[in-house]
Amino acid sequence: MPAEPNAGISGVRPAWEVILNQSAFYPTSGGQPNDLGTIGGVRVLDVRDEGDDIVHIVERGLPMETVQAAIDWPRRFDHMQQHSGQHLLSAMFQEPYGLPTVSFHLGSEISTIDLRGSEPSRDVLFGAQRAANAIIFEDRAIQVRYGTAEQLTALGVRKEVDRRGILRAIEIESTDLQPCGGTHVKSTGQIGLLLVRRCTKIRQDWCVEFVCGARAERIATSDLRVLRTIGERLGCATEEALGAVEKTVAERDAHFKRLRAALERFAVTWSKSLVSAAAVGTNGVRVVTVLLRAEHPELLLPLAIELAKAERTIALVIQEETGQLVFAQHPSAGEDMGAILQQLLARFAGKGGGTRDFVRAKLADPAASAAALNAAEKAVTK
C-alpha cells in the first residue's frame, strides 16, 4: 500500500503509515514493545496492530514497489530474551508457589510481572530465580504450538484464554505452555541468565522486577562495580561491605540522635535569650523572628517550639537554605497562624499547613525567605 502521511509521532515530526503484504515487524502487543528497523532504507518509528493490518510508521514516504526491510536485530533479540524469560519465571512462581502472573511489561531497562496472591518472601523470589536458571542451563527447547482453547487446556496450558479459533502458544519443554503472540528464543539457553531485582506492592498485586540475557550481564556488572566502590570507600573487602555499611548506618543514627539532643538543648537556651531581647508590642505580645542561615536545619523545629512556650509570644522561624518555615505561638498570643500562613502563601509560592497555633510550610523559592519573614512579621504586628 502507498505510504500515507499522518500527524506524526507525538506531533514532533511528519510521519507516514505503510502497510506491507508481508511483514516480520512485531507490533506493540501483550506487554512487548514493537520492533524497529528500516523499510526500503527508511527508518521505522513505530509498528501498530490495527485490526487486520500491521501499520508501520516511517519517517518519510515510500514508493509503491517491492522493498527490502531490515529489523533492528539486537533490539528484537533482547525482547525475545526478556519475553521467554518472563514465561519461564511466571511458570516458576505459579508452581510450586501458587502465584499466578496477571500482567507483564517489557521495559527499556527493566521488565516486570505482576503476581496475585500473598507477598512473595525473599526465599520465594530467589527460589523462583534459581529454578528458572536451572532450566535455562539445561537449554530446553522452546516451540510454537497451535490449537483451540479447548485443545490447549487439555495439554495443560498455564493460563486459559477465552478466545475462539486457532491460537498460538509457546511451549517450554516439560515446563510451560502459554498462549502468546510475542517473539521468543529457540531454547532456554538463549535466555542467557535471569535475575530477579526486587518486589513491590502495586495495588492488590506484587510487582516483580527482572532482567534476562545481556541486560542481566550489564546490571550484574554494574552492581558489582558499585559494591566494590562501596568497599573501597569504607576501607574493606567487597564481601565485607554489607557489614561495614550496617555498622556505618548504626553509627550515623547514633550520631544524629546525639546531635538532635544537643540542638534541643541549644534551642532551650537560645530561645530564652531571644524572648528576653524581644520587644513587647502595644498589645502585650512578643514577636520573635529568626532567619536561620548557617545553623543546622534540624534546629528549625525545636527552636520554634521552645519560643512558643513563652506566654504571649509568637515565633516566626525560617531556614533560608531550604525555604522551610515554622510559625508557632503560645495560645495566649491570640493570632491565627493558619490564616497568617495562607496570606503568606498567596504572595510567596509554597506548600504547607497546620493549626491555629502551629504551621509548617516550604517556600518554592528559598531565596524569598528573608522577604517572606519580613511579610509575616508585618502581618502579626499590624
Q: How does pLDDT run across 192-240, given as a tens digit for each residue?
A: 999 999 999 999 999 999 999 999 999 999 999 999 999 999 999 999 9
- pTM for this structure? 0.76
Kindly give the pairing relationship between strand 358-363 and strand 194-202.
unpaired
**Distance separating alpha carbons of residues 188 and 190, to the nearest angstrom:** 5
- Per the CB < 8 A criterion, the answer to whether 317 and 303 are in contact is yes
Q: What pLDDT band is residue 382 in, cutting at 50, 70 and 90?
A: low
pLDDT above 90: residue 160: no
* CATH classification number, 76-232, choose in 3.50.50.60, 3.30.980.10, 3.30.70.1290, 3.30.565.10: 3.30.980.10
- Closest C-alpha to 47, from 32, 65, 62, 67: 32
* CATH classification number, 4-71, choose in 2.40.30.130, 3.40.640.10, 3.30.70.1050, 3.40.50.720: 2.40.30.130
Domain 260-380 falls under CATH 1.10.10.10: no
How many other CB atoms are there within 10 angstroms of residue 254's CB atom? 10
pLDDT above 80: residue 66: yes
- Supply the pLDDT for residue 354: 96
Indicate the domain borders of the chain.
Answer: 4-71, 76-232, 260-380
Q: What is the DSSP letter of 34?
A: P
pLDDT above 80: residue 7: no
Q: What angle do CA 324, 327, 331 make, to 5 degrees?
A: 160
- Supply the pLDDT for residue 164: 85
Which cell numbers hold the place of 61? Answer: 514516504
- Supply the pLDDT for residue 9: 45
pLDDT above 50: residue 163: yes
pLDDT above 50: residue 298: yes
The residue-averaged pLDDT of 278-303 equals 94
Pinpoint the alpha helices (H) of 20-59: none
pLDDT digits (tens, 9 = 90+) for 300-347: 999 999 999 999 999 999 999 999 999 999 999 999 999 999 999 999
Which cell numbers hold the place of 203? Answer: 495495588
The residue-averaged pLDDT of 126-149 equals 97
